């Protein structure tokens, strides 16, 4: 092996490990140190009578009806923004006109039309996706942007459900975002925005990740007060692996395309997440190579030990996800054994997005006509009737 190729090999192996190590340890620091105090806010909750709900969808009438049924009656108003006319009990339906033009794309375009054309006298607008089931939301902490945590449920592929449990564990990092001037990302499937701030920032920009882009632009224009609510909005996991790959591809593509919106000091924070996401399957692969070909990396024994130690962190992601999902301890070994597969599948869409970035918003498919009893059967950690009963609250807009 020539000196140049040997140097490049060393750079590849050790450079990858060091980048992944820094990124993984940053995640650990967020979860163990920066997350302190995230849920200790003693402020009085803003009542739901000060909240207007807007549900975004294409034309999934059955799915939207189930979502509407889970919204408490104390919510002031419920509006559905659709691309086609549908009938929804308990909500006012609006169809975005074909002639409406703005810089925003697809979902962002629909949100911007709603901002301009739906009157709102409430303090907050809570945006939900068509499959976002509210289960225990009693109010909102006062803030500018309030993110509600997600809890994807299995309605289709078991493998995508496995990946979602893994991702929910990884997203424990959200508990540290209140310490950042620019929160790393937002999930538009359940996010409340102060209406005054929404009108100030608007959604009228070209992006395929309108939720994250909005929070970054809002942080640039004001001293953002970000809050996280652990209310666990229950939504659908992608029904197929291809749907999940496309979803992850769009997420990472949008983040990379909009990275210029961040101040220079925050870009490394975003890049650490991208590195952790995409390199998780690569690190053990390189470790296996050094095991069989120790001459490829100096101090190969040290390299192998560090690789194993860092890769072990992905099992922590899965454990946190299992805790969030209240999985019975007796099934943990099965999920932990499947963790390497979840790591690989979760990363493939990200690799796709880096190699060939998406430039257009593609809606993630939802399973049509999902019945709550079937959802509870597929997700045994849910007690019977839990979704219908709104976690013990019977003040719903309808029965599902």
The answer on pLDDT for 26 being more than 70 is yes
The answer on pLDDT for 390 being more than 60 is no
- Residue 50 pLDDT grade (very low, low, confident, very high; cuts 50, 70, 90): very high
Average predicted confidence (pLDDT) for the chain: 88
- Pairing mode of beta strands 51-56, 124-129: parallel
Decide which of 109 and 37 is more confident: 109
User: Which CATH number goes with the domain that contains 271?
Assistant: 3.90.550
How does pLDDT run across 252-278, given as a tens digit for each residue? 999 999 999 999 999 999 999 999 999
The DSSP-derived string for 222-249 is S---EEEEEEEEB-BPPSSHHHHHHHHH
What average pLDDT does range 196-213 have in this prediction? 96
Maximum C-alpha span of the chain? 73
8 A C-beta contact, residue 252 and residue 174: no
The answer on pLDDT for 7 being more than 80 is no
pLDDT at 40: 64
DSSP reduced 3-state for 149: strand
DSSP reduced 3-state for 153: strand
Domains identified in the chain, total number: 1
What average pLDDT does range 177-189 have in this prediction? 94
pLDDT at 397: 57
- Residue 399 pLDDT grade (very low, low, confident, very high; cuts 50, 70, 90): very low
Residue 281, domain extent: 1-400
Cα-flanking dihedrals φ and ψ of residue 298, to 5°? -60, 150
DSSP reduced 3-state for 122: coil
Decide which of 95 and 60 is more confident: 95
Percentage helix, strand, coil for the chain under 3-state DSSP, each rounded to 5: 50, 10, 35
What average pLDDT does range 123-132 have in this prediction? 96
Nearest in space to 30 (alpha carbons), one of 232, 176, 210, 168: 176
């Amino acid at each position: 092996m020539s000196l140049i190729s040997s140097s490049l090999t060393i750079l590849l192996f050790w450079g990858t490990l060091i980048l992944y190590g820094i990124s993984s340890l940053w995640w650990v620091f967020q979860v163990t140190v920066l997350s302190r105090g995230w849920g200790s806010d003693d402020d009085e909750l803003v009542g739901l009578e000060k909240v207007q709900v807007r549900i975004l969808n294409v034309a999934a009438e059955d799915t939207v009806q189930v979502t509407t049924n889970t919204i408490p009656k104390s919510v002031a108003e419920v509006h559905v923004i659709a691309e086609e006319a549908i009938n929804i009990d308990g909500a006012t339906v609006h169809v975005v006109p074909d002639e409406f033009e703005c810089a925003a794309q697809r979902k962002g375009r629909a949100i911007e039309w709603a901002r301009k054309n739906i009157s709102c006298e409430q303090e907050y607008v809570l945006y939900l996706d068509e499959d976002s089931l509210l289960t225990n939301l009693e109010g909102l902490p006062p803030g500018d942007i309030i993110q509600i945590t997600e809890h994807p449920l299995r309605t289709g592929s078991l493998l995508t459900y496995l990946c979602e449990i893994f991702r929910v564990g990884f997203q424990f990092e959200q508990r540290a975002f209140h310490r950042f001037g620019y929160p790393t990302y937002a999930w538009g499937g359940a996010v409340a925005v102060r209406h005054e701030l929404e009108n100030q920032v608007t959604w009228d920009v070209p992006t395929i990740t309108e939720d994250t882009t909005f929070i970054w632009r809002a942080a640039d224009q004001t001293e953002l007060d970000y809050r996280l609510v652990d209310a666990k909005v229950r939504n659908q996991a992608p029904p197929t692996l291809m749907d999940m790959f496309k979803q992850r591809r769009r997420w990472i593509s949008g983040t990379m395309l909009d990275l210029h919106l961040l101040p220079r000091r925050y870009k490394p924070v975003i890049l650490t997440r991208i590195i952790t996401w995409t390199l998780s399957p690569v690190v053990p692969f390189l470790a296996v190579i050094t095991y069989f070909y120790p001459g490829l990396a100096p101090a190969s024994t040290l390299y192998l030990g560090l690789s194993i130690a860092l890769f072990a962190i992905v099992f922590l992601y899965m454990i946190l996800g299992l805790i969030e999902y209240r999985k019975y301890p007796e099934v943990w070994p099965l999920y932990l054994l499947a963790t390497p597969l979840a790591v690989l599948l979760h990363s493939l869409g990200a690799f796709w997005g880096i190699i060939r970035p998406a430039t257009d918003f593609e809606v993630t498919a939802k399973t049509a006509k999902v019945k709550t009893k079937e959802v509870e059967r597929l997700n045994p950690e849910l007690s019977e009737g839990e979704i219908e009963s709104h976690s013990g609250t019977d003040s719903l807009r309808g029965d599902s």
